[in-house]
Amino acid sequence: MTPAIGQQTATEATTPEAAVVKICASCHGMELVTDTPRDYDAWHDTVQKMIDRGARGTQEEFGLVMDYLFQNMTPVDINHSDVDMLMGVLHADEKTAQAIIARRTLRPFKDLAELEGSIQGLDKAVLDAKKRMIYFQ
């Protein structure tokens, strides 16, 4: 994606949360963004559509928006997603993501309870917050 580059302002957002609130909640509420998890490519297309509609920010801010969407609004399939996806979506380190892959290769995970019970190092608050985006297919 090559986002349109807007004018630099004194209040440039510097965190993913600040960027998404600044850029994505100016025309409609944040709930439009937080109601519809979708995969990373689909978020690219959505953000491009919003830029076409007039969303403006710096390239850095759009980078932060994509970070936010990847870390918070992207579904993950625990039994099939790759290591980067597991790390990004579960906010996990590489060792933890690799442990998930090693375990699912032997036997796929059934549900969140089994994931939490068998893998060390996952952040329970993240898992709780993202329950509806974590799949076991």
For residue 46, the minimal CB distance to ligand HEC (Å) is 5
Q: Which is nearer to ligand HEC, 32 or 83 (CB)?
A: 32
Long-range contacts: 114-122, Cβ < 8 Å, 24+? 115/78, 120/96, 121/92, 121/93, 121/95, 121/96, 122/90, 122/92, 122/96
x/- mask, ligand HEC, residues 16-45, rule CB under 6 A, reads: -------xx-xxx---xx--x---------
Judged by CB under 6 A, does residue 78 bind ligand HEC? no
Pairing of strands 134-135, 76-77: parallel
Residues at the interface with ligand HEC (CB under 6 A): 23-24, 26-28, 32-33, 36, 46-47, 49-50, 53-55, 65
